[in-house]
Structure 1
Amino acid sequence: MRKRIAVLIGLGLVFLSFFTCFGTLYAIGSNKKLDLEGVSIDNFRMGLSYPPLKNEQQRKFSKNHMEKLNIDLVRTGVSWSYIEANEGHFTWSGFDKRMQFFNENNIDILLTISSDGPEWNVDQKTPESSTYKNVTAFEVFLQALFTRYADYNIHKIQFGNEWPNEYQFIGTAEQYVNYSNTVYEIANETIPDTTFVLGGIATANLRIAAAYYNYTDFYRIGTNATILTGAELEGLMASEFVKEGVARVNYVLANASYDELDLHFYDDYENWGTYVTMMNDLVPGVPIIVSEFGGPNLSWEKYTRDSQARHLKESIETLDGIGIEEAYYFKLTQGGAIPQHRKSCLVGSTVTIKPAYYVMQAFTASNAQVNFIFYTEYSFVFMGIISLIYFVFVGIFGLIKVIQKRKSK
């Protein structure tokens, strides 16, 4: 009996060791099909958009992966609603730790100031944004923020996210310009060497604008596989919804103060160059960064880890040839509110390394390493699940044998 249990435990350890290394072996084997030999990024700087940083464990996790990927550029956010939940009382401790982490590890940051405000100063709101009763209170917060972190690695700064969409910014174009220009002016006074980037423009807005201005002759809906052409496309472009959206974007582009534009790219990398050309025509001479990119779209195609790896390779090669300055991959770990992009991550939900991870590493670190110690350290969740299932099975098996033995007596 004891020998059988010992054999089962031994087999279990072999089984666990195999699965601990399996993800890495699979990823490396998968990427041999992609011809990654000699790939590199020559024309832009790679970063990560919103890696996990909430606590010490997450910061350690992100630091280790950033070192493996040779990335020292991060997009992160700060929320007025969290920092000053009660008027006049600032809670900096959590954000202090994050900013200290960036400084200690020489990581440059693109700081996105979210457009949500504290309840005591909110006029209109969505879960992602709000308008303010008192802009002077916002100015006080900004002064405190920039003064506190004036000597930290704030590489670039922006206000709001995907503001052309009313869900992401509930206010008018005039209100967005007012708030964004307030950030621009106070940043210029307190951290004058920091570049100001206009809040990001979503891929869906770029697709609509490209069709509206005849840079493309179709519009593909992001949430399903529908492609509009011909009369259907003309009807959409003539709608008040599109006209109002285009007017909103044009007003902001013409009246906001900014040093750079920010575009968000997902899925259709074959059209990203067209979107950059369009924005260069609309706003000549303004540099462009991409603070989010990812894919593939789960609503457009069947997902496999191999298809994601191919998509990432094509995406990076595209970005390297369209004249942008920086691109931030979204994202390192699985999750997010957009269901069609929930698998656009380099590390899976069970903390397993995906083939796309090694594609990224091939471009950013000029190699794709098999590092079993590193992989094992960040595979405890996966190992724990397998261990629990296996040893519960062994326990049940042993219990059955004990019961049978007693009955036989």
Structure 2
Amino acid sequence: MGTFKIEGGHQLKGSIQPQGAKNEALQILCAVLLTPELVTIHNIPDIVDVNKLINLLKKLGVKIEHISNGTYTFKADEVNLKYLESDEFKVDGRGLRGSIMIVGPMLARFGKGYIPKPGGDKIGRRRLDTHFEGLINLGAKFRYNKEEQFYGVEAERLKGAYMLLEEASVTGTANIVMAAVLAEGRTTIYNAACEPYLQQLCKMLNNMGAQISGVGSNMLIIDGVQKLTGTHHTMLPDMIEIGSWIGLAAMTKSELTITNVSWDDLGIIPNVFRKLGITVERRGDDIHIPAHTDGYEIQSFIDGSILTIADAPWPGFTPDLLSIILVVATQARGSVLIHQKMFESRLFFVDKLIDMGAKIILCDPHRATVIGHDFKSTLKAMTMTSPDIRAGVSLLIAALSAKGTSTIQNIEQIDRGYERIDERLRAIGAKIERIDA
């Protein structure tokens, strides 16, 4: 188990470019299964979760070539269906959450899709009902082996249908869309997720010959086609990493430029950080954060009541950045209520911040009130363990702002979502060392 050793309290300076989007990559990589033709994908992040999925696709028989940094080609012309029912797949598929999205394309193209209960972050219940209810609406037969926690769907031919999703699940919408593009007739998905990464998936599929309209809205209309062709696709920068660097700059009073951020796909993210008093400047397609030497002050609502920042489906604020917002608030002037609505265990890392000296009241599993220090007292260094990807990076930001030397254990969680984070932070002046066990 690896560890980061971090000497905090140093100002950083320079520019940093965000990696390709993790959450987009997991969808896009599964979509290569929809065609036997060559698919080229650019800006793929070199992170644990994505590499696990690439390895799973290889074992499934997809021919994969690493062309250059971040660029791969995929050709799924000889898919090994027997692997889906092997003991090896039951182990591999549990290794990451994104494996669930192979089910839709496999069902659409080969008439069957199987998956063990997938793993991922320990941040509370993450139901699969939306995925399978959508596929059943398209005509699939569902089966579940409770002892092995192994799911399966099968169909000779999928048929388009109207469906109203119970929740605007991003991965659920992606799975249903990938199944529907090869179904017979028209599929209408209402209450569909509309995140930029889901939009990217739809644009890629349309470039492959799919007929999807309503992209970017919560109603997708899909007219099924007989087959899809190969394509080229470039992934967006990772908005969660962009938000992480904004928070890092504020907490360390550093001047940073985040380059090539695809501003138009960031939604309300810059404005939410501005509500914490952070200056977020647009310079072309870059974000510039000046050094906040005098700190930053949390806004109130217009009636004077305490600011609440809550997550919501897109175009609301992404839940993946609430951990970052919470950490940044610990050194702000003023108070804020953080309301994590979508995952009931995601705020449990705050006990580590409290041990570092942060003033946080955990109201319940979903809400925390943060009373900012205004940098009048710094967080203190300590040894801690990363519980999940986003909490791990939040603790890393806290450690970089703290006085003294901290250690973060279980950094494999951070590596799941952030590419060479220690190297990239050192390039802008961070004192961080990776210690392999």
Query: TM-score scaled by structure 1?
Result: 0.27
Query: TM-score scaled by structure 2?
Result: 0.26
* Structure that is richer in strand per residue: 2
* Structure that is richer in helix per residue: 1
